[in-house]
Amino acid sequence: MIEDDSSASAALCASESGSSSELHQDDDWNGEGDTLHEECGVFGIVGADDAAALTALGLHALQHRGQEAAGIATYDGEHFHLERRFGLVGDNFSNSDVLERLPGNVSIGHNRYSTAGGAGLRNVQPLFAELEGGGIAVAHNGQFTNAMTLRRSLIKRGAIFQSTSDSEVVLQLIAKSRESDIIDRFIDAIRQMEGGYALVALTRKKLIGARDPLGIRPLVLGDLNGSPVFASETCALDMIGAKFVREVKNGEVIVCTKEDGIRSFHPFAERPARLDIFEYIYFSRPDSFIAGRSVYEVRKSLGAELAKECPLDVDVVVPVPDSGVPAALGYAQEIGIPFELGIVRNHYVGRTFIEPTQQIRALGVRLKHSANRSQVEGKRIVLVDDSLVRGTTSSKIVQMMRDAGAKEVHMLLASPPITHSDFYGIDTPDRKKLLAAQMNLESMRKYIGADSLGFVSIDGVYRACGFDRRNPDAPQFTDHCFTGDYPTDLVDFEGEENHRAPGLLKD
């Protein structure tokens, strides 16, 4: 095993024989929120027949980015149409009656994961407003880190808000802008915003796509038989048979019309792109390409890096499904140990369908994961997962493997320890509830009950993405959850970097 090292770039591994000082442990933690929740997904298309149906298909491909609600807006040449529903895309937008209420050859759509307290229909996107120059619908993925500050200022100036979503701040800023052209008003609005976002907007004549100045949130441009398409990921282009054209550049605003084609604007000073590294580790679908890299191949490479940094003498490699599968495969291939599905996931479980008594809560992890006893009994196994958040689910899975007869249970993570909260659209717990922010490596190992615990190093993540190492002076990605290096001003969270501050909803 590799020795524990305090440097940010070192691999972290601890075994049962190791020794470290015990850090604070919150005994009141439960399994709720013991994961990095999805962000959101956006999609847009102009100049296509059945634009709403194509948008529904695109959102279906992006369903992994948000499952709580979905919405589609269209324009038919005379009127805007808007349908917003709770639940999955397939449950709401496969009905021909719904799609018939969304006529037009231009459309935008949004999948949503809502944060606590924000699951109201008024917050489901796209949001629409009727302005002096005509209507506009807006949807975005990410979070504006100065939205609360701007919201308070707008309210003082007489603005009336109908939602608690930070997306509405964009609409209000467009409405208040003194520019005459809608594109200039749009650019005037986003110039006032801080944070990470991918944004699509729909006017009477235009489809607009925009990406934050650092490119923290992903957005791609595609083409479907001459119709421009925007999507959070390339998998949505594949779904409708569209051709990938290019990534929307960081800080770029692209305006599309069927008649005039594509126009590109660059309203921000040029800066190096810093995509959120979690798009590779967890969020994006494995068959997507992000910044020219296959997400699947990066995840396999993360497993290979784990094998180099934390080699183990075990009998079988077991992925924690589904996000741990590519990394586990990479680990097994690199180290030459059999890969087996020692855990079977039930894909048909959402919220608990039985009244959540304490007894049912205790069984919660078994509703989603079951041990495949034939592959773990009597064996030394290593579990491979993408990340460790609170640790409660990991501890239950470790115990499940022991109950299934595993002789040894080791755990490896295809990301470094998560020590800081996110402020750019990922729903992370308060820092005080992040296991790695409160415990050292040996304490974490004891908490989850594994025989050993290891994390890939931060440099290992960068190597998996094709770099020699992380550049400390100019990081190639946004990796603040591991390093605390926040790439933008956290205006609404001044002095609160150590805590997950309440605010407007992230989308």
| Mean pLDDT of successive 10-residue stretches along the chain, which has 507 residues | 36 59 32 57 96 98 94 97 95 92 97 62 92 92 92 92 88 93 95 96 96 97 97 98 98 92 95 96 96 97 98 97 94 97 80 48 68 97 95 94 97 97 84 93 97 98 97 96 94 60 40
Interacting residues of 260 by C-beta distance below 8 A, sequence separation 6+: none
Q: Is CATH 2.40.110.20 what the domain over 41-274 is classified as, yes or no? A: no
Q: Which residue has the tokens 């190791």?
A: 18
- pLDDT the model gives residue 495: 58
Q: Which of 40, 256, 310, 465 is catalytic?
A: 40
Q: What is the C-alpha separation between 26 and 297, in angstroms, rounded?
A: 37
Q: How far is the first Cα of the chain from the last one, in angstroms, to the nearest whole number?
A: 41
pLDDT of residue 460: 98
Q: Which two tokens stand for residue 379?
A: 């064996």
The C-alpha atoms of residue 27 and residue 31 are separated, in whole angstroms, by 12
Q: What pLDDT shows up at residue 165?
A: 85
Q: Which CATH architecture has domain 12-30+297-486?
A: 3-Layer(aba) Sandwich (3.40)
- Residues 491, 146 contacting (CB under 8 angstroms): yes
Q: What pLDDT sits at residue 346?
A: 81
Q: Model-level pTM?
A: 0.88
Cα-based distances in Å from 118 to 42, 68, 177, 259, 356: 19, 11, 28, 39, 21
User: Residues 13, 286, 506, 193: is their CA dihedral positive or negative?
Assistant: positive
Q: Which residues, 6+ apart, have CB-to-CB distance to 155 below 8 Å?
A: 161
Cα dihedral 4, 9, 11, 16 sign: positive
H/E stretch holding 130 reads strand 127-131
Question: One-letter amino acid identity for 346?
Answer: N
Whether the domain at 12-30+297-486 and the domain at 41-274 fall into the same CATH topology: no
Q: Identify whether 40 is a catalytic site residue.
A: yes
pLDDT computed for residue 365 by the predictor:
63
Of the candidates 326, 297, 284, 346, the one whose C-alpha atom is nearest the C-alpha of residue 36 is: 284
Q: Where are the alpha helices (DSSP H) in 221-294?
A: 234-240, 278
Question: Looking at this protein, which amino acid is placed at residue 156?
Answer: K
Q: What is the predicted pLDDT for the residue at 499?
A: 40
pLDDT of residue 155: 94
CB-CB contact of 56 with 94 (8 Å): yes
φ and ψ at residue 181, rounded to 5 degrees:
-80, 140
Q: Report how far residue 498's alpha carbon sits from residue 165's, in angstroms, rounded to the nearest whole number.
A: 23
**Which sequence spans correspond to the domains of the chain?**
12-30+297-486, 41-274
Please check whether residue 507 is in contact with residue 425, taking contact to mean a CB–CB distance below 8 angstroms: yes
Sheet (strand 408-413) strand order:
12-15, 452-455, 408-413, 380-385, 316-319
